[in-house]
Amino acid sequence: MMSESPRVARYTAGGLRSEGRSIHASRVIWANPAWLCVGAALFLSVLGIMAIGTSVPELASKQMAFLCVAMVGAAVIATPHYRWLEQFSFIIMIAALGALVFVLIPWVPKSIVKPVNGARRWINMGVTDLQPSELAKIAYIMAIASYLRSREGYRTLKGLMLPLILSFIPMGLVLKEPNLGMALLFLPTLFAMLIAAGAKLRHVALVIVVGLSIAPLSYPILRPHQKDRIDAMVAQMLGDERHLDDIGFQADRAKTLVGAGELLGTGGDMTAN
């Protein structure tokens, strides 16, 4: 211990999970796991644009231009050192929550927040629209990761309660917009992060089972279109074809196209039909 450098001794005494690297050592690191996310996003985006190109080539060209801009933004986000980004995680989360609250304020002028089909999800930025829930997803992951990195309580069943409560705040605001599909992403993300951080699987499994058990109780408070989607999905699973021409059309088409195209697809043949 006498030979240990002062810097290493300080971080070890502070309980940080560190190998002696200073938190201020480097604010930019080019080779890091974030590029895996960038690569995955690029692959899925190109795959989607190829699919669009089979039916609407001009739209595919437009999406490709957007993708180039998005990749520049992704590269800017991926290069800073994670410890440098961690310093701003909770500030970004508070800003995201503030934006989620802002879109729900009813007296905000429609020129800034314009409801679309009854949903208040976008802020008019002039050149484009900002969807706060998209920012909230990133901010949420950063905040939860920062919390899990500096705490050990999540290794107990009781310690899982605070991360769950922190998750319910953005979930509730996104549900209020309403945006059920987006809101449902938060809990699976939390469970994946808890498992990666070292939470006990039996505790996570228990929370998931309890959550799935009480989930049907939320059905009465859902909006009519949300209930219709659930009803259509259940009907489709039971072989009932009543909703295939309306609310169940998209799910039915997805099953048909996947079954017909299999792994390599059929090009434009299905579109022609």
Is there a contact between 85 and 92 (Cβ–Cβ < 8 Å)?
Answer: no
pLDDT of 10 > 70? The answer is no
Is there a contact between 167 and 186 (Cβ–Cβ < 8 Å)?
Answer: yes
Is there a contact between 133 and 122 (Cβ–Cβ < 8 Å)?
Answer: no
- pLDDT range class, residue 189, cuts 50, 70, 90: very high
pLDDT digits (tens, 9 = 90+) for 164-177: 888 999 999 998 88
pLDDT score at 267: 60
pLDDT of 143 > 80? The answer is yes
- Angstrom distance (rounded) from CA 189 to CA 77: 20
Please state the pTM of the whole predicted model.
0.69
pLDDT score at 108: 86
Q: Which residues pair with 124 in a beta bridge?
A: 129
pLDDT score at 43: 93
Instruction: Name the E strands within 128-203.
Output: 129-130
Query: Residue 228 corresponds to which tokens in the numbers above?
Result: 């219709």
pLDDT score at 25: 47
